[in-house]
């Protein structure tokens, strides 16, 4: 079998042929089964209220973590690179305690 060279690309740019080449199968799963299947809705009580109420990251009353997160969100607001959006997604999971 011939070895066809493949270059790396973002997953959002993959086509059906790429999935087939790497033997990847997509299966639809309800969100309730995918996220925390054995748990009730997660509590966001530990979420810093400043995330929801502060208009900018330049607020002296915010914690360092909240200020950093809002800075990421501000960058993503006018992002031109997909990696910035990926970074904000990862930070959102950390803030919501889905990922340490």
Q: What is the per-residue pLDDT across 28-51, written as a single tens digit (0 to 9) for each?
A: 988 777 776 666 666 777 788 888
Task: For the chain, give every domain's residue range.
Answer: 11-95
Q: Which residues contact 33 (CB under 8 A, 6 or more apart)?
A: none
% of residues, the chain, pLDDT over 70: 84
pTM of the model: 0.53
Nearest C-alpha neighbor of 70 from the set 82, 55, 85: 55
**Mean pLDDT, rounded, for 73-89:** 83
Question: Is residue 8 classed exposed, middle or buried when 0-12, 13-18 and 19+ CB atoms within 10 A define those classes?
Answer: exposed
């Amino acid at each position: 079998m011939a070895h066809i060279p493949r270059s790396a690309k973002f997953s959002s740019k993959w086509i059906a042929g790429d999935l087939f080449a790497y033997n990847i199968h997509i299966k639809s799963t309800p969100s309730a089964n995918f996220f925390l299947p054995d748990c009730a809705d997660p509590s966001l009580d530990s979420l810093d209220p400043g995330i929801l109420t502060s208009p900018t990251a330049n607020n002296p009353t915010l914690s360092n973590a909240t200020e950093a997160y809002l800075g990421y969100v501000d960058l993503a607001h006018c992002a031109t690179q997909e990696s910035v959006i990926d970074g904000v997604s990862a930070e959102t999971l950390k803030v919501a305690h889905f990922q340490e």
